[in-house]
Amino acid sequence: MPLAAEAVSVSDPIHTSTPVDIPSNAALRTPEELAQIALEFAATDGWLHRVQLSNDHRWYERLHHGADYDLWAISWMPGQSTGFHDHGESAGAFVVVTGVLEEHRPGEEPQSISPGQSRTFGSDFAHDVRNVSLGPAVSIHAYSPPLSEMNEYELDGSQLVLRTHPSERSKSLSDAQAEPSAPATAITNASSIDQVLTRARARLRRLSPAEAFESAVAKGALLVDIRPAAQRAVEGNIPGTLVIERNVLEWRLDPSSSARLPVANDHDVQVIVFCSEGYTSSLAAAALQDLGLWRATDVVGGFKAWRSAGLPTTPE
């Protein structure tokens, strides 16, 4: 079911072979409600194993299809974008899970969306979403009513002009609506997020919460919290940690970066990264090793395992 809200744009409204029928008593969701739904869903861990990465085009899949809203996951490699498009009669919202995306609107400054941040919009809203960063990104999108049509546009000066011929990307929307349970098309040289995660962890000597605590207290290791602010506010904090959100981590800890923090003055510094559950932190630690921080690693189970072990925490 390779379709996603942002991944597919069409020039004319799509009338699929399986139109979305909204029960008369189904209450549609507001953009703000959709943003909360997307945020709460993104915080779960039951969908990450489905994500794939492809240099050829964005991967996307519908993960939930209800009467009043649907949910999609999308992955973005550097340089990938949606092109200008709308969402038919659907209002929507999306939240960035990892990486950084940019939203472009005619006549407006681009808006950068970092992990944990969301964007909301009503029906007939047109935009272009892009990954202009140096790393991959993953986002969760919610639409109400469930997405059933999209229109694609070209930018003429500062005006959007409806595209008269559908792009190649537009075909997959009707295909996905017609076969909502079909498996994603195989992608040459693509890796699943599980494969990427396994390769990253094979390079790390991961630490238990107790080992991380000992390294930080007795050996002066740098304990780095990469969780977004909204997550820290809900879960709490570890005293004495350095908070660096994921989207700027490499720039702050690369000893050769002009934007580095004062503590990042040596490739030998031991950096111990943690997130909420120990998934994103593994990818982040591997990225730091790519910068020459050869002792970088992460905490097995993340903050939740640290808290369960009875180690020191404080509320936000």
Q: How many of the other CB atoms lie within 10 Å of CB of 295?
A: 17
Beta carbons of 298 and 282 less than 8 angstroms apart: yes
Give the CATH number of domain 31-190; options: 3.40.50.2300, 2.60.120.10, 1.20.120.50, 3.40.50.11810.
2.60.120.10
Q: How many of the other CB atoms lie within 10 Å of CB of 105?
A: 15
- Residue with structure tokens 């340089």? 79
d(CA 241, CA 258): 22
- Give the residue among 272, 273, 274, 248 at the shortest CA–CA distance from 261: 248
The single-letter code of the amino acid at 279 is: Y
Asked whether residue 49 is marked as a ligand-binding residue, the answer is: no
Asked whether residue 85 is marked as a ligand-binding residue, the answer is: yes
> Virtual CA dihedral for 240, 244, 245, 249, nearest 10 degrees?
-140
Tell me the mean pLDDT in the region 127-154: 92
Distance of CA 215 to the CA centre of its chain: 31
Beta strands, E only, 101-260 = 101-104, 111-113, 118-121, 128-130, 137-144, 153-156, 159-162, 191-192, 222-225, 242-243
Which has more pLDDT, 3 or 50? 50
Beta carbons of 221 and 271 less than 8 angstroms apart: yes
**pLDDT averaged over every residue in the chain:** 84
pLDDT over 60 at 247, yes or no: yes
What residues pair up with 152 in beta bridges, in sequence order?
85
pLDDT over 90 at 34, yes or no: yes
Which has more pLDDT, 134 or 62? 62
Specify the 3-state DSSP secondary structure of 75: strand
Beta carbons of 295 and 269 less than 8 angstroms apart: yes
State the pairing for strand pair 271-274/159-162: unpaired
d(CA 139, CA 1): 17
Domain segments of the chain: what residues? 31-190, 203-308
Beta carbons of 76 and 96 less than 8 angstroms apart: no
Which tens digits make up the pLDDT trace of 269-293? Answer: 999 999 999 999 999 999 999 999 9
Where residue 77 falls among pLDDT bands split at 50, 70, 90? very high
Question: What would be the CATH architecture of the domain defined by 203-308?
Answer: 3-Layer(aba) Sandwich (3.40)
pLDDT over 50 at 6, yes or no: no
pTM score over 0.75: no
d(CA 302, CA 281): 8
Specify the 3-state DSSP secondary structure of 64: strand
- Domains 31-190 and 203-308 agree in fold: no
- Give the residue among 131, 97, 156 at the shortest CA–CA distance from 275: 97
Query: Worst-scoring range by mean pLDDT, 182-191, 202-211, 219-228?
Result: 182-191
pLDDT of residue 16: 28
Asked whether residue 127 is marked as a ligand-binding residue, the answer is: yes
d(CA 191, CA 197): 10
